[in-house]
Structure 1
């Protein structure tokens, strides 16, 4: 109930914020962000979150998460530096890019970031040469059925190769400590996690028989959020089964970590846009907004995401086409949104847009990304 009241008040404050800061405006809620952190910890109490910075690297977000004790999943030297600048110490970072540049491996070692993932012999050779003694986790390929973005197409060793790779890591002077996987972004099939847990248990048991005392399990990200009020709360529904399997398969000697991005930052942000033009095309209203797929709605393309567009205008709705401000016909937001008739200057806003939005916004056509503001 308290969250619903807060959301209503925050939505009502958007016109005031737009008048003060202009549009497009990216609104980050401290309350909602910290609420998502608490919710993640409540739903998966044994799992330590390492926030995937790629989802949204805004400094205010990183500082709030660092202060809340959240660790970080980093994929590049800039992300390492951003996490450290936010107040995280090197031992709170995992360098979870399985194909790292040599200079990035060296930079990570120089900054005392010693936990890394890999999924091939070639990566092991690079790590052993340029960051000797590092702690490593082997990333395995697992089912990504039904996930919005299938990451196992590009990443992950075959499970049958995991133990030989870990043995090689040991021979190279590295410290093999565990297994990582990723079930795909916005995963609504809890069975993906359960199957991955079983595969991981087999690998860990085999490794221990071969004198490799693995004790870290990285269950990746993919924890889904609700983009629309009509969506199911998939994460809450799957969490009990995940916890049962975690406790059944991995005793207290194991440390479990995860790499949530969307699950933490997604519900914490709003995008506010203005109608800057309108027309009738094909007997349908077109509304041209001051943000689009080259800006904070880039998730439509890069994340295959759909958003919930809302307005403050009342009245009957019609099928409309909202489009972005650039001179590219690709910049069409949707061809079938139910919106009331809007006037130039009216606001359109989208909730639950914190992930893979601002992070991938561009300045195409010389149009800068939305201004970001932090609210309590």
Structure 2
């Protein structure tokens, strides 16, 4: 067996099951706010497009995807991020959701034959970044995101010698779990580092369509690159998904876009990897990328949840509205794992301990003392969960 598999950590939800072992919650309806699985209704237009194109199941799909899908994605990128041009033939590649692509990307980009290869990522982080780095033969290098630095990437935590070993950096904006959006100046600094040291940037933007102000959508990486005059999105690849935007996590549909030279190699890798998207799913995805009405309605529901929950939870957990995304990153009055277990046992509400989303780096675990609350359930269910949390916190203190 591949010995690198032994380096993988248990997934956060495995740790959560172990944490809850032996706890007996009350006989009230369970409310699970631990996993970022959208629970709003799947749009009818996506269902109709999927069932109308089931004949596509009778053919082998191509890894490059159908031209119409790549054109719809390129068009969406140009509309959403005000881009001048995106070439659907060379700068767009459909993938089976961001999780699969984020993992595979490191296997393609990292040169494991070079000793000391590093893959940088935020901390807390999406655990796929770490697993992808380890199985590519690299060592993860974590950049702590703390309240003291506004949950930004602390790029100074790595020395010049360490940056010289970085081959790939994962960036998540809007961030999971903090919801922070990188600014244009953040991107400028990151691009300068990439140029100086020659590493590739993988920008995970799967939460980019969950935001609060319709007049101020989150800045995207490709958008920042174009505004800063970077040619051909050099050293940059972005990852997008329909899961959160269109409430279709089971469709497993997304795309990568950016540097054509990198995507050419990634396409070669994926051809051997055997991860082509079903043509039926591709055609349903076209319907989703071409429609914004359902996305506006989706944001309205999330906006209502934040409007109602932030005032309830702020006095007991010190939370504030994030820049974007559907998570609350809440400070706990005690150890976060103990808090999550006690909350579950007392209220049947599930949240995720922050320490499970981070690693100890530079002398601390930046997730410790926080819990992640995913506002993915229906509006009234989220309000019910918040009321239970408030009652619990008042007694817990």
Larger relative helix fraction: 2
Which one scores higher on RCO, CA 8 angstroms, separation ≥ 6?
Answer: 2
Class of the TM-score when normalised by the shorter of the 2 chains: 0.3 to 0.5
- The TM-score with structure 1 as length reference comes to 0.33
Structure with bigger gyration radius: 1
Larger relative strand fraction: 1
